[in-house]
Amino acid sequence: MLSSPRRRASTFQQAVAATSPRTTWTRDEISDVYNQPLMELASAAGNVHRRFHKPSAVQLCTLMNIKTGGCTEDCSYCAQSSRYSTGLEATRLSTVNSVLEAAKIAKENGSNRFCMGAAWRDMKGRKRGMQNIIEMIKGVRAMGMEACVTLGSEYYQKPFSLRLDWKSLISHILVLDKEQARQLKEAGLTAYNHNLDTSREHYPKIITTRSYDERLQTIENVREAGIHVCSGGILGLGEVPETDHVGLIHTLATLPEHPESFPVNKLVPIKGTPMFGQEAVKLEDLVRCIATARLVMPATIIRLAAGRVTMPESEQMLCFMAGANAIFTGEKMLTTDCNGWEEDKAMFSRWGLEPLQTDASKVTVDSSSVHRQIVSEDQRGRTAGEQLQAQG
């Protein structure tokens, strides 16, 4: 008697058996994965995580706000929007010296990636600011850390020829000269963060000053430029998890390449913003989102980002077991509180976790050269101040 044909493996079974990432997911397939029983989903995600990553290794990242407030966007969750009265005072761009001092402290506390965020819509007309950011990136990389920035995106969105070597990209988009483009290339930027925030369908309820397609174009141009893409979302924006979390993951999982990292933010409601008073995302929906992202984007780093400070240690562990393998740690996360280094070191010790070491961590650092760079910047700052006083 002929044997019956072998049944085709289900979408979930295929995801569990994956040995490499795929970018051909349908939304229905991801929905099928997402809606598995949570215990089975989280267990399967943990197994896939062990296939692609060292399970005990968690990347420590520190985020510094290098330019606070005054942003013209209307992101309904953000304290830095100039449209809302949140009591946040706008500041100028931080000095290179202060940023490198902060990066040095982060490095000493075990952070592997130093992220710098500026509350701008774009970099148009900010040549001096761009030069300072170049120096910040160089200094961070010289310390043996990854460097990530988020600086707005209008300058990535203008139409241009996609012959995207660094010089043509930067010269065309930022209208910088060749020397400035060369410096940015040599600075060694690791990643550029630009979150989608939520699904395409829910997005217009959160932001109106920038379209979803503009965000996707930014991500595409960053990727084409050879920069790692860091893109994720915020959970708890009044979305429907079963559709909007699936939609967010589907959009990122069907890009030409999966993002290098996927930040999962738990909304921190800020008084004065439209999202203040919004009901918090449920733990089961947070874990389900992380587990689904791990199965659908198995090689991507999944980062527990904003809002982790509100989670008990036991809840954080559930997220790690479901596939999360990076966190933000340090004094602040932009304008919100963050779990401190000592707190996280104690947590790592209790649970047998260890800091993830990437290629950037293996850089042999000449600490004296970093010190000279900081001192040099400090001297330049004093000289500029003296000149201004003389002019006054």
In the set 61, 75, 289, 319, the catalytic residue is 75
Nearest residue to 182 (alpha-carbon basis) of 136, 134, 141: 134
Q: Are strands 57-67 and 354-355 parallel, antiparallel or unpaired?
A: parallel
Is 71 an active-site residue?
A: yes
Tokens of 255: 């890009």
In the set 71, 289, 319, 338, the catalytic residue is 71
SS3 per-residue string spanning the chain:
CCCCCCCCCCHHHHHHCCCCCCCCCCHHHHHHHHCCCHHHHHHHHHHHHHHHCCCCEEEEEEEEEEECCCECCCCCCCCCECCCCCCCCCCCCCCHHHHHHHHHHHHHCCCCEEEEEECCCCCCCCHHHHHHHHHHHHHHHHCCCEEEEECCCHHHCCCCCCCCCHHHHHHHHCCCCHHHHHHHHHHCCCEEECCCECCCCCHHHCCCCCCHHHHHHHHHHHHHCCCEEECCEEECCCCCHHHHHHHHHHHHHCCCCCCCEEEEEECCCCCCCCCCCCCCCCHHHHHHHHHHHHHHCCCCEEEECCCHHHCCHHHHHHHHHCCCCEEECCCEECCEECCCHHHHHHHHHHHCCEECCCHHHHCCCCHHHHHHHHHHHHHHHHHHHHHHHHHC
- Phi-psi sector, 62: left (phi>0), alpha (psi -120 to 50), beta: beta
In the set 115, 289, 319, 338, the catalytic residue is 115
Is 61 an active-site residue?
A: no
In the set 61, 113, 141, 148, the catalytic residue is 148
In the set 141, 215, 303, 308, the catalytic residue is 303
In the set 230, 289, 319, 338, the catalytic residue is 230
Is 289 an active-site residue?
A: no
- Show which residues are catalytic: 71, 75, 78, 115, 148, 230, 303
